[in-house]
Amino acid sequence: MRIEILVFDGVDEMDVMGPFEVWSHAARRPDFELAVVGLDGPAEVTGLHGLQFKAPEGLGWPDALFVPGGGWMNRAEMGSWAEARRGVMTARIAALAPSLRWIGSVCTGSMLLAEAGLVKGRPATTNRGAWAELEEFGAELKTNRVVDDGTLITAGGVTSGIDLALYVVERELGANVADGIAGAMEYARDRDVYVSVH
């Protein structure tokens, strides 16, 4: 399985780095692949707090797409709010979504999924500061740390992306693998996960 993490200027660094750390452990297996990607090709990104890093590839046709947040609540000039206003990223997300095994987000990355039309009538979560806005898009708001609606997996604020990433590893590769990665990271898992019954 190939997961691509979509990054952009103004992204919250922890939204990216937490899941990246988890999935990079999983990617030591031959059946698991991870890439950090820019929307329009390789990108040099400056995060919300000034960290500069590179996305060596552009968004492709992965099995799963993970969308971080950052810069939504303060309507920043760079970040998820700015990307939603620009509209290019949300259009690409909407076009790609039907081909994915799942699409995920942490923090206000879920607002980009909302702008792409992916949360209406579905259980989802986001940073608590954007709960009301997520509901305005028609989401069935859950206040759990991670919300699994099958092809849509969302997480709350910032550090909850680590729990989402570990949950995905457990869902795809089993609890022993996920617990092993958490142990290697010396991370105490928060298992506050809402799972939809389909």
Catalytic residue positions?
Answer: 107
The answer to whether 160 touches 106, Cβ cutoff 8 Å, is: yes
Q: Which runs of consecutive H residues, i.e. helices, occur in the chain?
A: 13-26, 80-86, 88-96, 109-115, 131-136, 160-173, 175-184
User: What's the CA gap between 154 and 148, in Å, rounded?
Assistant: 7
H/E stretch holding 57 reads strand 57-58
| Cβ count near 44 (within 10 Å) | 10
Angle value at C-alpha 145, between 23 and 10, nearest 5 degrees = 65
Phi-psi region of 79 (alpha: psi -120 to 50; beta: other; left: phi over 0): left
Q: Tell me the backbone φ, ψ of residue 89, rounded to 5 degrees.
A: -65, -45
The H or E element that residue 195 is part of is strand 193-195
